């Protein structure tokens, strides 16, 4: 049921009230920081917690945020009858989010706010949505005091986006209380569960979910992306973000922006949140261009332990100004044996860590990336192919004999958006990739798992015919056969002896990744599949898999990598050394 008042109520001296509140914030925020000594110093990312040599927080030179702080205090409320008040940390973030350069252009093109669970990301996001709907959030001109003066957006179209309607409710349910009765009357607001209209429908806030096609072309003036750690490939989160970004880029005034709010993500999920963090890190490292991403996070230091003794101080240090978070209650959750440590670190320490059952630590795998290392034509390599028919991926990976460097020769998986079993692994395209690799490199061994469970329309195993073709074509050039004397390529992992052999190879590869003993080409799908892989204990040790049979996560490139490393090892162990010396 919409809540609305028909007639506007005249309000006197609004600008004076807003100016008074803004002046109060200016005095409050420019005081010395006076940070207390902390047992566990957080990792601060972004400008919100930066201080200068005098110990004061660094604030932007020009920002529309000063007026907006006052505007929020005038028209918004914490609860009925109590005006809205930001914490210092929230206010500093707001100032930076609305910072402009000397030309009046926003410094930041889009942003990510990452904080621990319960910090107040949704309330802050709701206030920004309210201001984007009604307040002067675009640069207009320079004031007499040298500060920017804003203007509102007459056709404001604000979206709060998530991959499920339930997630959008985290923000939408705040608006009925957030707007004061005076604001409802002044701006002629109609507040519904999934949509808020202002000025008789001329401006709107709407909740949207992951339907990329319906979002294409929508010219939103501002988008709040909620819980982007849950925006994944298999729920259309990637494509939804791509559409939102395109829409913002082609906005009429070029000032439409997107702010993502997120908890720490799990690296193996390959979420939109992860992509944003990696883009920011690449820009900081100078390997990619800085595209104007405001990334702001407060994280526990890596060495912070999850113990009853240390956790209260850790939580107190990283909660910032969120004094409502009770460290004792959080410690109870951390110590609950039903909560795995990785989840507690992500939720309560705001740390980006892998799950306990991860096959390898994603950070260690990423540290071995060497995308500029080239494998020259005619270099000796070993190859392994892991085939699938439709549900999983098929992958062809090589490993250089001389140094063990891993190269991704091809990964084929169902494109995003394809449903059911309409898509089949393209045998012709895969065979062509094998031909290219055989022509380019000196392939000394090439083994392939035919995925025995997959049959084609004739009732034959999907890959057997192609593997036989490869055998007949390349058997004379391959030094190490998969089945000595029988087949140069077919290496059926279904056999118990081969499960044991592959398990041992998976354990060795995991240990080598932990120790950083080889490099890889940083192919994005190889990286994703390695991040996705989960530990799979069996009677012979610990292998890897995707977690459960119905998991949408792909791991086949990681399997092919282990296979290629295994084939290389077998080749080196069986290669005969050339004889030296003279015969007299």
* DSSP character string of 268-331: GG--HHHHHHHHHHHHHHTSS----EEEEEEE--TT---STTTHHHHHHHHSTT-TTS-HHHHH
pLDDT at residue 3, rounded to an integer: 45
CATH of 14-348, one of 3.40.50.300, 2.40.50.140, 2.30.110.10, 3.30.70.20: 3.40.50.300
The tens place of each residue's pLDDT in the chain, 584 residues long, gives 344 444 454 444 788 999 999 999 999 998 887 666 678 899 999 999 999 888 889 999 999 999 999 999 999 999 999 999 999 999 999 999 999 999 999 999 999 999 999 999 999 999 999 999 999 999 999 999 999 999 999 999 999 999 888 888 889 999 999 999 999 999 999 999 889 999 999 999 999 986 666 676 668 999 999 999 999 988 889 889 988 988 888 776 678 999 999 999 988 788 999 999 988 988 887 777 888 999 999 999 888 999 999 999 999 999 999 999 999 999 999 988 888 888 999 999 999 887 778 899 888 898 999 999 999 999 999 999 999 887 788 999 999 999 999 999 999 988 765 555 578 889 999 999 999 999 999 999 999 998 765 555 566 778 899 999 999 999 999 999 999 999 999 999 888 999 999 999 999 999 999 999 999 999 989 998 998 899 999 999 999 998 777 677 789 999 999 999 999 999 999 987 655 555 44
pLDDT at residue 303, rounded to an integer: 86
| pTM beyond cutoff 0.75 | no
pLDDT at residue 4, rounded to an integer: 43
- Across 334-351, b (16+ Cβ under 10 Å) vs e yields beeeeeeebbbbbbbbbb
Exposed/middle/buried for residue 138 (C-beta within 10 Å: 0-12, 13-18, 19+): buried
Give kind and range of the element (H or E) at residue 69.
helix 65-75
Domain at 362-574, CATH class:
alpha beta
Write a three-state SS string for 140-193. Answer: EEECCCCCEEEECCCCCEEEEECCCHHHHHHHHCCHHHHECHHHHHHCCCEECC
CA-to-CA separations, 550 to 60, 271, 424, 428, 561, in angstroms, rounded:
50, 19, 18, 27, 22
- CA atoms within 13 A of residue 543's CA, in its CB half-sphere: 19
- CA atoms within 13 A of residue 162's CA, in its CB half-sphere: 21
pLDDT at residue 2, rounded to an integer: 46
Look up residue 106 and give its DSSP letter: B
Instruction: Return residue ranges of the chain for CATH 3.30.420.240.
Output: 362-574
What is the chain's alpha carbon radius of gyration, rounded to the nearest angstrom? 29
pLDDT at residue 404, rounded to an integer: 98
> What is the chain's percent helix, strand, coil content, to nearest 5?
35, 20, 45
Instruction: Return residue ranges of the chain for CATH 3.40.50.300.
Output: 14-348
pLDDT at residue 390, rounded to an integer: 76
pLDDT at residue 5, rounded to an integer: 44
d(CA 273, CA 268): 12
Strands 203-208 and 157-161, by their bridges, are parallel
Other CB atoms closer than 10 Å to residue 102's CB: what's the count?
A: 9
Look up residue 581 and give its DSSP letter: S
E-assigned strand segments in 334-401: 380-386, 394-400
């Amino acid at each position: 049921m919409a809540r609305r008042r028909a007639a506007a109520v005249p309000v006197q001296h609004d600008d004076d009230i807003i100016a008074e509140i803004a002046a109060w914030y200016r005095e409050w925020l420019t005081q010395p920081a006076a940070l207390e000594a902390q047992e566990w110093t957080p990792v601060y990312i972004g400008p919100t917690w930066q201080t200068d040599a005098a110990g004061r927080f660094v604030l932007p030179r020009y920002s529309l945020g000063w007026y907006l702080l006052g505007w929020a205090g005038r028209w918004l409320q914490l609860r009925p009858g109590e005006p809205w008040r930001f914490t210092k940390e929230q206010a500093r973030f707001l100032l930076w989010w609305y910072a402009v350069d000397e030309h009046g252009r926003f410094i930041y093109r889009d942003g990510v706010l990452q904080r621990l669970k319960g910090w107040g990301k949704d309330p802050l996001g709701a206030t920004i949505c309210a201001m984007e709907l009604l307040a002067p959030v675009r640069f207009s001109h320079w004031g007499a005091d040298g500060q920017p003066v804003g203007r509102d957006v007459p056709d404001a179209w604000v979206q709060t986006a998530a991959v499920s309607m339930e997630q959008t409710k985290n923000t939408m349910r705040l608006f009925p209380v957030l707007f004061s009765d005076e604001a409802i009357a002044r701006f002629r607001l109609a507040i519904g569960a999934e949509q808020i209209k202002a000025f008789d429908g001329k401006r709107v806030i709407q909740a949207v979910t992951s339907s990329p096609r319906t979002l294409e072309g929508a010219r939103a003036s501002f988008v709040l992306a909620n819980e982007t750690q849950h925006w994944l490939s298999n729920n259309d989160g990637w494509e939804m973000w791509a559409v939102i970004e395109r829409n913002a880029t082609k906005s009429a005034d070029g000032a439409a922006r997107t702010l993502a709010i997120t908890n720490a993500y799990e690296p193996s999920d390959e979420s939109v949140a992860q992509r944003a963090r990696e883009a920011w890190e690449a820009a900081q490292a100078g390997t990619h261009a800085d595209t104007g991403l405001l990334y702001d996070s407060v994280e526990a230091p890596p060495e912070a332990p999850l113990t009853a003794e240390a956790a209260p101080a850790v939580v107190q240090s990283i909660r910032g100004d969120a004094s409502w978070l009770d460290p004792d209650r959080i410690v109870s959750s951390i110590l609950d044996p039903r909560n795995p440590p990785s989840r507690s670190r992500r939720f309560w320490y705001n740390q980006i860590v892998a799950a306990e059952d991860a096959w390898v630590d994603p950070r260690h795998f990423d540290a071995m990336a060497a995308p500029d290392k080239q494998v020259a034509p005619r270099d000796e390599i070993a190859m392994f192919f892991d085939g699938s028919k439709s549900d999983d991926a098929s992958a062809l990976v090589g490993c250089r004999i001389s140094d063990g460097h891993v190269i991704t020769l091809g990964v084929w998986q169902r494109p995003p958006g394809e449903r059911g079993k309409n898509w089949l692994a393209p045998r012709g395209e895969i065979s062509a990739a094998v031909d290219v690799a055989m022509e380019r490199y000196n392939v000394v061994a090439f083994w392939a798992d035919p995925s025995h469970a997959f049959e084609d329309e004739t009732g034959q195993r999907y890959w057997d015919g192609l593997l036989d073709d490869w055998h007949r074509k390349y058997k004379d050039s391959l030094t190490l056969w998969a089945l000595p004397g029988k087949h140069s390529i077919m290496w059926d992992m279904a056999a118990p002896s081969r499960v044991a052999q592959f398990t041992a190879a998976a354990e060795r590869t995991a240990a080598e990744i932990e120790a950083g003993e080889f490099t890889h080409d940083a192919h994005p799908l190889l990286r994703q599949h390695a991040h996705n892989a989960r530990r799979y204990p069996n009677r012979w040790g610990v292998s890897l898999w995707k977690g459960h049979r119905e998991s949408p996560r792909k791991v086949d490139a990681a399997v092919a990598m282990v296979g290629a490393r295994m084939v290389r090892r077998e080749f080196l162990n069986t290669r005969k050394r050339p004889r030296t010396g003279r015969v007299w």
